[in-house]
């Protein structure tokens, strides 16, 4: 018994407010599947959200009109469903009831019945009806003449084709708006090279940033939306400005190759690294830990009055954990004295922090960091890094370090194999804190995870001690409350 199929198409609706397109992430049904009303058909990602589209019809899937991964205009039919009832089509699907029977055509009143303002349109999403005096429509035969459902919004509205507008906070289409912006910005860009053109486009924070760095916005070509100058443009301008400084360096063969004299911090760093790497036999061990609790503790601590005005960073907890571990295992805070043939156990920890500065790598240290309460340690860390960044670190601040942390996580990497600060027995690298799938209480959950790496001088520290120190630091970060046991 064959019943004439009643084919209905579901058009991509505007699931946000004023969206013009969406990407079909995946289909949740296949051709031949039976679907019910509100059964999810596919997942669509728009500029605002990824959502599942529920079926407006019950029936059998006849055709999927776009592959997953395709960007689809709002209003385009995406799926054909045979509702098999042969009866009266509901309003949402009305089209085939009239005219040629082709799906996607408008119904008798000239509209697809679905829509009010935002929804599926039977033709391209961005087109507005033509004003009468305009020349005849192009030769494209496919779209029916006048199917756009939305009447012009205002009597005073400019012609939408020539000038898209925003109306009452309703976005008339991202692309339309972008076009309008770039149109508006074009004259400004042309005028920019001239001396007294219009004010260059930039957001206030960028203006301030440029002003602070002495960069003239008028001399920059913006790369942002509509020619707007971004922070990156300002940075680029500074970079371009600092290149001319390079000629002070004797560049000889070709533009690409530079010869930089080895001096200053670089020379010192090189000597120290070579000396350290080829004097102390290095061993590096790694440990990945779940620091979610530490991050929560950090939030709570930051709210306490004694931490007002200081930065409660993950580095602070790593520093504290290392200090506690050093208290438990004093040998990790020691030096090999070759001349005296002695191992010097320092007792007091002068905690070094490796800092990348404009001048290069420096390792200032906090004297007797172990005696500082947490808030003071936070303040000391803040001061140390500020000073280093400003290039004002004094030689005294860098002398006498006994144990070092290098926070490579700030560069977005997971870990490294740090080289010992010369004369010291251990250095701890702290990687980026990432949200990762992690087995927590028997289930895979998103947790905040980091990797620690401890390098140590194998002359002084055996694998057992190094492992204990690293395990202690890890345990303290994983469960900060265990510090009570120390």
Partner 1 sequence: MTAKSLTTEMVDPVPGAAAPHLPLDGGIDTVQLLTPEGDRVEHPLYSLDISDEELRGLYRDLVMVRRWDAEATALQRQGELGIWASLLGQEAAQVGAGRALAEGDMAFPTYREHGVAWARGVDPLHVMSLFRGVDNGGWDPVATRFNLYTIVIGAQCLHATGYAMGVQRDGAEQAVLAFLGDGATSQGEVNEAMIWAASFSAPVVFFCQNNQYAISVPLERQTRVPLYQRAAGFGFPGVRVDGNDVLAVLAVTRAALQAAREGQGPTFIEAFTYRMGAHTTSDDPTRYRLADELEEWKLRDPIARLKAYLSRSGAADAQFFDAVEVEADELAARIRQGTVEMPDPAPTEMFDHVYAEQTPHLAAQREEFVAYRASFEGGEH
Separation CA 135–CA 143 (nearest Å): 17
- In this chain, which of 86, 281, 330, 446 binds partner 1, going by CB under 8 A? 446
Instruction: Name residues contacting partner 1, limited to 383-412 (CB under 8 A).
Output: 385, 388-389, 407, 409-411
Q: Write the CA distances from 405 to 24, 213, 362, 451, integer angstroms.
A: 47, 32, 12, 13
Q: Is residue 50 a contact residue for partner 1 (CB under 8 A)?
A: yes
- In this chain, which of 53, 176, 332, 349 binds partner 1, going by CB under 8 A? 53
Q: Is residue 27 a contact residue for partner 1 (CB under 8 A)?
A: no
Q: Is residue 138 a contact residue for partner 1 (CB under 8 A)?
A: no
| Contact map string, positions 84 to 123, toward partner 1, x by CB under 8 A | ------xxx-----------------xx-xxxxxxxx---
3-class DSSP state for residue 316? helix
Q: Residue 50's beta-bridge partner residues?
A: 45
| Contact map string, positions 356 to 375, toward partner 1, x by CB under 8 A | xxx-----------------
Residue 455 burial (C-beta neighbours within 10 Å; 0-12, 13-18, 19+): buried
Q: What are phi and psi of 73, to 5 degrees?
A: -70, 140
Between CA 274 and CA 298, with CA 381 as vertex, the angle to 5 degrees is 120
- Of 188-196, 310-318, 320-328, 339-347, which segment contacts partner 1 by CB under 8 A? 310-318
> Is 440 part of the annotated catalytic residue set?
no
3-class DSSP state for residue 461? coil
- In this chain, which of 299, 305, 338, 464 binds partner 1, going by CB under 8 A? 299
Q: Is residue 480 a contact residue for partner 1 (CB under 8 A)?
A: no
- In this chain, which of 8, 9, 10, 351 binds partner 1, going by CB under 8 A? 10
Q: Is residue 37 a contact residue for partner 1 (CB under 8 A)?
A: yes
DSSP secondary structure letter of residue 167: B
Q: Is residue 213 a contact residue for partner 1 (CB under 8 A)?
A: no
- Of 378-386, 393-401, 417-425, 471-479, which segment contacts partner 1 by CB under 8 A? 378-386
**Cβ 369 vs Cβ 350: under 8 Å:** yes
In the complex with partner 1, the residue whose CB is nearer, 281 or 446, is 446
Separation CA 121–CA 128 (nearest Å): 11
Separation CA 15–CA 52 (nearest Å): 10
Question: Residue 216 corresponds to which tokens in the numbers above?
Answer: 């003239």
Q: Is residue 339 a contact residue for partner 1 (CB under 8 A)?
A: no
Question: Residue 393 corresponds to which tokens in the numbers above?
Answer: 């670190």
Can you tell me which residue has the tokens 């507005």?
128
- Characterize the bridge pairing of strands 351-357 and 403-406: parallel
Separation CA 375–CA 381 (nearest Å): 10
- In this chain, which of 36, 38, 182, 225 binds partner 1, going by CB under 8 A? 38
- In this chain, which of 130, 189, 231, 268 binds partner 1, going by CB under 8 A? 130
- Of 97-105, 150-158, 207-215, 474-482, which segment contacts partner 1 by CB under 8 A? 150-158
- Of 24-32, 146-154, 251-259, 459-467, which segment contacts partner 1 by CB under 8 A? 146-154
Can you tell me which residue has the tokens 């204990």?
468
Indicate the helix (H) or strand (E) that contains 384. Answer: helix 374-389
In the complex with partner 1, the residue whose CB is nearer, 280 or 372, is 372
- Of 15-23, 200-208, 255-263, 366-374, which segment contacts partner 1 by CB under 8 A? 15-23
Instruction: Name residues contacting partner 1, limited to 269-298 (CB under 8 A).
Output: 295, 298
Between CA 424 and CA 430, with CA 429 as vertex, the angle to 5 degrees is 145
| Contact map string, positions 417 to 436, toward partner 1, x by CB under 8 A | ---------------xx---
The CB-side HSE value for 469 (13 A sphere, CA atoms) comes to 29
Q: Is residue 152 a contact residue for partner 1 (CB under 8 A)?
A: yes
| Catalytic annotation, residues | 458
């Amino acid at each position: 018994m064959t019943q004439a199929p009643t084919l209905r198409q579901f058009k991509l609706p505007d699931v946000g407010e004023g969206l013009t397109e969406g990407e079909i992430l995946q289909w949740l049904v296949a051709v031949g599947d039976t679907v019910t009303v509100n059964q999810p058909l596919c997942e669509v990602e728009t500029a605002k959200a990824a959502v599942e589209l529920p079926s407006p019809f019950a029936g059998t899937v006849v055709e999927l009109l776009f592959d997953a991964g395709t960007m689809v205009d709002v209003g385009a039919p995406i799926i054909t469903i045979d509702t098999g009832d042969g009866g009266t089509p509901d309003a949402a699907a009305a089209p085939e009831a009239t005219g040629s029977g082709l799906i996607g055509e408008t119904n008798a009143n000239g509209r697809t019945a679905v829509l009010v303002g935002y929804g599926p349109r039977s033709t391209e999403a961005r087109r507005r009806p033509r004003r009468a005096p305009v020349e005849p429509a192009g030769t494209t035969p496919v779209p029916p003449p006048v199917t756009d459902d939305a009447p012009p919004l205002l009597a005073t509205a400019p012609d939408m084709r020539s000038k898209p507008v925003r109306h009452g906070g309703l976005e008339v289409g991202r692309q339309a708006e972008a076009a309008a912006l770039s149109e508006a910005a074009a004259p400004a860009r042309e005028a920019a090279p001239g001396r007294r053109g219009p004010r260059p486009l930039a957001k206030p924070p960028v203006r301030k940033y440029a002003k602070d760095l002495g960069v003239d916005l008028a001399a920059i070509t913006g790369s942002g939306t509509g020619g707007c100058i971004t922070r990156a443009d300002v940075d680029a301008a500074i970079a371009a400005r600092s290149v001319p400084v390079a000629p002070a360096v004797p560049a000889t063969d070709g533009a690409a190759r530079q010869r930089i004299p080895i001096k200053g911090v670089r020379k010192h760093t090189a000597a120290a690294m070579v000396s350290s790497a080829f004097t102390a036999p290095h061993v590096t061990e790694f440990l990945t830990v779940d620091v979610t609790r530490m991050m929560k503790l950090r939030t709570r601590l930051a709210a306490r009055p004694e931490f007002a005005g200081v930065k409660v960073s993950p580095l602070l907890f790593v520093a504290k954990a290392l200090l506690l571990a050093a208290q438990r295992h004093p040998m990790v805070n020691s030096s090999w004295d070759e001349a005296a043939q002695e191992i010097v156990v320092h007792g007091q920890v002068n905690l070094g922090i490796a800092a990348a500065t404009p001048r290069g790598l420096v390792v200032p240290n906090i004297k007797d960091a172990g005696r500082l309460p947490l808030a003071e340690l936070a303040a000391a860390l803040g001061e140390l890094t500020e000073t280093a960044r400003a290039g004002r670190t004094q030689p005294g601040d860098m002398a006498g370090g006994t144990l070092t942390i290098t926070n490579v996580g700030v560069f977005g990497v997971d870990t490294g194999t740090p080289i010992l600060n010369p004369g010291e027995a251990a250095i701890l690298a702290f990687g980026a804190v990432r949200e990762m799938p992690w087995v927590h209480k028997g289930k895979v959950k998103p947790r905040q995870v980091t990797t620690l790496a401890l390098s140590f001088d194998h002359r002084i520290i055996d694998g057992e001690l190094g492992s204990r120190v690293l395990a202690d630091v890890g345990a303290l970060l994983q469960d900060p409350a265990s510090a009570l046991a120390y």
